[in-house]
Chain A
Amino acid sequence: MHTLPVPLIRTVCRALALLLLVSRVADAHAIHTTVTQLTADARGLTVMIRAFADDLSSSVATHAGRSAPADHSVSEPEALRYVQSQFMIGTAERRLVTFESCGVRRADDMIWLCVRVPSMRALTGVAIRNQMLTELHADQINIVQVDDRGARQTLLFRKGSAPSTIKAGT
């Protein structure tokens, strides 16, 4: 069997060698997470959810009663319905809010979902519960980072977590 000329192989493989200059023993654990940025300002409440495309696509499709697409895509209306069912926001008056979609964007293996509540401009006293993807992974952890006009706090949700209420000026 013939082999490729060594100089040519070297040229083609150069990038490979340069990428792997040093070995690094990584943290050998994958953790299932979503990260949500929740911002209240003059435009209303914006909820930006980042999730891995394969997980989200699977859950959205299952929720819509069909099989998951091979390309891990999501349809915007189905994604909105899924978020509405799994991500609960209750006003201080104990009324559940209804989201409207402000877009879906795919960035390779991740998907950003944007939903909004135009009428909600402050978050103090609001109750939040994010159970997205917990039906898929028992170890799912949903991180919600809240920015209420500059006051920041982080909420963590696991499968079965109770709602968290946002406190003033945290």
Chain B
Amino acid sequence: MSTARMLRRLVAATIVVALGGAAFARAARPAASPAGTEMPRAPGFSERAERDVQIRVWHQALDADPTSAIVTGQLAALHFQRAREGGGWDDYLKAEAFARRSVGKRTKRNSAASSTLVSILLAQHRFTEAREIAEALVRAEPEVAAYRASLAEVAMELGDDAAADTLFRSVWSERGTLTTAARLARWLELNNHVPEAHRLLITARADALSRRDVARETQAWFHLRVGDLELRRGRLGDAAAAYSAGLALEPEDPRLLAAMARYEMARRNWREAIVWGERAMAVQLDPATLGLIGDAYSALGNRAKADEYFRTLEVAVSLQPGAYHRAWSLHLLEHGLQVGAVLEKATDELRARKDVYGYDIVALALEKSGRHAEAQAAMRSALRLQTPDPLLERHARELGVTAVLTGAP
């Protein structure tokens, strides 16, 4: 295809996108309420409506040029972003399909689409496939730190500590960029370098908040990350401050609402935890939040209500496709339920994914199965990075394994 022809196509696509601006202005206006009733807007993130319009407009661009790798790459990114902003599960699947179509159409100078595909696969917990794509990206463009950081993240999730360590060291000089800082901070925290992780996250959050080109959902996510780090190291006030700052940006962010529920649970404020958890659930249902609300009712002595949530959690998770759910597995183990099935699934997952939290579940399942020595061995693997997480510390104590942790301030 000639450059002139491709340029014409691109210009056509750009005009469609430009016209979309006007469409957005119209679409963003609240719709008239039928029959005098005030209809609520779609729940979730503040820029969701903008994302819907962007997607519509880029689909029009796709109609104008169905073979464009650029347009399909854009649609992959937009559907992925909408999935994170409370879109349906279909958005992940559409994002993946568009990313694969873009990569299939053009490999040269189309690394962004491959990078998007890695993120989409990670979001679906398809770590092995993500690794293949990320490795190909790094092979093609080894000088790009963001791609090495992406591969490092995949290695971290798979529990390949040596590869993750090598790759993260290779991007240390790029720690000032948002793409690298967030991933590096998690690796530092996992390895018990909490003050460094904290500094990195605080700097990255400030950077994200100062940039007008960063989605508000992403800015809120940085508050969430800071809050979670503070919560894990026992600084509850700082955690609440971070979550509140995130909610000021995105009042309906279900991740932050659920985080507030966890914060109130940590303070043993069961009723407040229920209120926050139910607010989160109204936007997006998450099994961990169902379990948390059930636990809060249980702590209040309301056994009937707790059981209602636990039964719902069982239905929610038992029929889900794909990888088994760790939060649900932990819930089952801590309540002494389905121990054999959880052990089987967790052991199976460990074959491909050997991260510390995978070992933690296997350790707990082995312990509940009466296999104490094997449980202790698995727990030692869970503690191999000396990760300062109260959950790991508690399980280690229960199994009689000494944890060498210094996460507390």
Partners in one complex: yes
**How many residue pairs, one in A and one in B, have C-beta atoms under 8 Å apart?**
177
Return B150 CB to nearest CB of chain A, in Å.
Answer: 6
Instruction: Knowing A4-B7, A8-B7, A109-B87 are in contact, say whether A114-B35 is a contact too (CB < 8 A).
Output: yes
- The answer to the question of A70 belonging to the interface, with a C-beta cut-off of 8 Å to chain B, is no
Interfacial chain B residues near A35, Cβ < 8 Å: 43, 282
A81 and B150 CA atoms in complex are apart in Å by: 50
Stretch with Cβ within 8 A of A (4 or more), from B110-118, B188-196, B226-234, B260-268: B110-118
A105 and B123 CA atoms in complex are apart in Å by: 30
Return A154 CB to nearest CB of chain B, in Å.
Answer: 5
Return A12 CB to nearest CB of chain B, in Å.
Answer: 6
Q: Using a CB-CB cutoff of 8 Å, which residues 1-35 of chain A contact chain B?
A: 1-6, 8-9, 12-13, 15-31, 33, 35
Q: Describe B's contact surface by its main secondary structure.
A: helix
Check B88 against A109 for contact (C-beta < 8 Å).
Answer: yes
A5 and B2 CA atoms in complex are apart in Å by: 12
Q: Using a CB-CB cutoff of 8 Å, which residues 96-122 of chain A contact chain B?
A: 101-105, 107-110, 112, 114, 116
A29's nearest neighbour on chain B, judged by CB, is: B320
B76's nearest neighbour on chain A, judged by CB, is: A16
A12 and B58 CA atoms in complex are apart in Å by: 12
Query: How many residues from B make CB contacts under 8 Å with A?
Result: 78
Check A114 against B34 for contact (C-beta < 8 Å).
Answer: yes
A3 and B10 CA atoms in complex are apart in Å by: 12
B36's nearest neighbour on chain A, judged by CB, is: A102
Check A21 against B179 for contact (C-beta < 8 Å).
Answer: yes
Check A143 against B281 for contact (C-beta < 8 Å).
Answer: yes
A25 and B322 CA atoms in complex are apart in Å by: 15
Stretch with Cβ within 8 A of B (4 or more), from A44-52, A60-68, A124-132: A44-52
Check A158 against B287 for contact (C-beta < 8 Å).
Answer: no
Stretch with Cβ within 8 A of A (4 or more), from B77-85, B378-386, B396-404: B77-85
Q: Using a CB-CB cutoff of 8 Å, which residues 291-323 of chain B contact chain A?
A: 308-309, 311-312, 315-320, 322-323
A65-97 contact mask (Cβ, 8 Å, vs B): 1 or 0: 000000000000000000000000000000000
Check A12 against B10 for contact (C-beta < 8 Å).
Answer: yes
Q: Describe A's contact surface by its main secondary structure.
A: mixed
A27 and B43 CA atoms in complex are apart in Å by: 19
Check A103 against B318 for contact (C-beta < 8 Å).
Answer: no
Instruction: Knowing A28-B322, A31-B287 are in contact, say whether A19-B41 is a contact too (CB < 8 A).
Output: no
A157's nearest neighbour on chain B, judged by CB, is: B312
Instruction: Knowing A23-B118, A105-B31, A158-B312 are in contact, say whether A13-B39 is a contact too (CB < 8 A).
Output: no
Check A19 against B325 for contact (C-beta < 8 Å).
Answer: no
B314-342 contact mask (Cβ, 8 Å, vs A): 1 or 0: 01111110110100000000000000000
Interfacial chain B residues near A52, Cβ < 8 Å: 88
| CB < 8 Å neighbour of A109 from B90, B287, B316 | B90
Check A143 against B282 for contact (C-beta < 8 Å).
Answer: yes
Interfacial chain A residues near B2, Cβ < 8 Å: 2
Instruction: Knowing A23-B150, A27-B286 are in contact, say whether A156-B312 is a contact too (CB < 8 A).
Output: yes
B315's nearest neighbour on chain A, judged by CB, is: A158
Return A32 CB to nearest CB of chain B, in Å.
Answer: 9
- The answer to the question of B25 belonging to the interface, with a C-beta cut-off of 8 Å to chain A, is no
- The answer to the question of A165 belonging to the interface, with a C-beta cut-off of 8 Å to chain B, is no
B52's nearest neighbour on chain A, judged by CB, is: A108
A54 and B88 CA atoms in complex are apart in Å by: 10
A37 and B311 CA atoms in complex are apart in Å by: 22
Check B39 against A23 for contact (C-beta < 8 Å).
Answer: no
Check A107 against B3 for contact (C-beta < 8 Å).
Answer: no
Check A114 against B282 for contact (C-beta < 8 Å).
Answer: no
- The answer to the question of A151 belonging to the interface, with a C-beta cut-off of 8 Å to chain B, is no
| CB < 8 Å neighbour of A13 from B70, B88, B108, B322 | B70
Instruction: Knowing A3-B109, A13-B112, A20-B77 are in contact, say whether A25-B122 is a contact too (CB < 8 A).
Output: yes
Residues of A within 8 A of B (CB): 1-6, 8-9, 12-13, 15-31, 33, 35, 37, 46, 48, 50, 52, 54, 101-105, 107-110, 112, 114, 116, 137-139, 141, 143, 145, 154, 156, 158-159
Residues of B within 8 A of A (CB): 1-3, 6-7, 10, 13-14, 31, 33-37, 39-43, 52, 54, 70, 73-74, 77-78, 80-81, 83-84, 87-90, 108-109, 112, 115-116, 118-119, 122-125, 150, 153, 157, 178-179, 182-183, 208, 213-215, 218, 221, 278, 281-282, 285-288, 308-309, 311-312, 315-320, 322-323, 325
The 7 closest A-B CB pairs, nearest first, are A103-B34, A30-B89, A139-B319, A28-B125, A107-B42, A26-B123, A16-B77
Please, could you name 24 A-B residue pairs with CB atoms under 8 Å apart, sorted by A? A3-B109, A4-B7, A4-B70, A8-B10, A12-B74, A13-B73, A13-B112, A16-B73, A19-B77, A20-B81, A20-B112, A20-B116, A21-B218, A23-B182, A27-B286, A28-B123, A28-B124, A28-B323, A29-B322, A30-B89, A35-B282, A103-B39, A114-B34, A159-B315
